[in-house]
Amino acid sequence: MSTIYLNGKLMPIEEACIPVLDRGFIFGDGVYELIPVYSRKLFRLHHHLHRLQHSFDGIRLMNPYSNAQWQDLLEQVIANNKTEDQSLYLHVTRGVAKRDHAFPQNTPPTVFVMSNPLLAPPQELLLSGVAAICAIDNRWIRCDIKAISLLPNVLLRQLAVDANAIETILIRDGFLTEGAASNIFVIKDKVLLAPPKNHLMLAGITYDVVLELAAENNIAYEVREISEDELRHADEILLTSSTKEIMAVTRLDDEQVGDGKPGAIFKQLHQLYQHYKATIMRGNTA
Ligand code: PMP
């Protein structure tokens, strides 16, 4: 049984209850984060808390805790759950109030944190790569906010599930934005291409790690808009997220990507990422 945090208290998940008038339930009015934990150590905590603050600012909700308070409560949740590697899900809503679109006054936010076991991506998928499909990005234009209202992402991801693929890659006005729940990179002629961080995509923490690793290891990269045509003619496509880490997309809409196998840059970045994670597990929580 997992232990969760809800509004100041730790409790078994089965005992956690939210009033039906919670604005998260009524309006999807809230923000969230997902932080990976390796060997009970928070991975890039300060980057996640910085992005959380950006989300709070984006929806005009006050951050209820200081970074030190967040760290303390997240560490309590980690300590009260069994596995060494965990994914921590933090969720804050604008609280419980009579249903009205306007912000309620003097209403405390609802704060919820849960932990799930974090499983590394299966080895066979790392070796074979994964299938993805493309779809039109029909979400709102504040995709930089990690909002809990994820209905468009849910519908887009289901298109991939229905097509036996792992992810839906999104195209807006002819350009790549990101995946339904991941960031996407393209490799062409040995250059790693990354779409620019802006209001049309979530600034992934893993995305940042990938670009840092590229810069430190002399992998040529460019941050710029990537056309649908470049995506469809890529030598390699990479998908990144905190839970999926780095995966190679080897089929796109039933066409082979490159030679249909995970490529050299994927292999190099995957190895560098594992090495980077290992240094974090040795004690650095920055
Ligand atoms: N974009 C979207 C829409 C996502 O949901 C995610 C996963 N949270 C990402 C990108 C990847 O972000 P991160 O690397 O921080 O997990």
Residue of minimum CA distance from atom 3 in ligand 1: 181
Compute the distance between CA of residue 216 and CA of residue 193 in angstroms, rounded to an integer. Answer: 16
Q: Residue 166 to residues 35, 37, 57, 131, 248: CA-CA distances in angstroms?
A: 21, 23, 32, 6, 11
pLDDT value of position 282: 80
CB 242 near ligand 1, within 6 Å: yes
Compute the distance between CA of residue 78 and CA of residue 81 in angstroms, rounded to an integer. Answer: 5
Per-residue pLDDT of the chain (286 residues; tens, 9 = 90+): 899 999 999 999 999 999 999 999 999 999 999 999 999 999 999 999 999 999 999 999 999 999 999 999 999 999 999 999 999 999 999 999 999 999 999 999 999 999 999 999 999 999 999 999 999 999 999 999 999 999 999 999 999 999 999 999 999 999 999 999 999 999 999 999 999 999 999 999 999 999 999 999 999 999 999 999 999 999 999 999 999 999 999 999 989 999 999 999 999 999 999 999 998 778 654 4
pLDDT value of position 283: 66
pLDDT value of position 284: 53
Domains in the chain: ranges and CATH? 3-117 (3.30.470.10), 123-281 (3.20.10.10)
With residue 224 as reference, give the H or E element that holds it.
none
Compute the distance between CA of residue 264 and CA of residue 236 in angstroms, rounded to an integer. Answer: 9
CB 49 near ligand 1, within 6 Å: no
Nearest residue to 19 via CA among 126, 104, 115, 122 = 104
CA angle (125, 146, 160) in 5-degree steps = 35
To test ligand 1's pocket by mutation, which of 141, 241, 269 has the most ligand atoms within 8 angstroms of CB? 241
Distance 159 CA to ligand 1 centre (A): 18
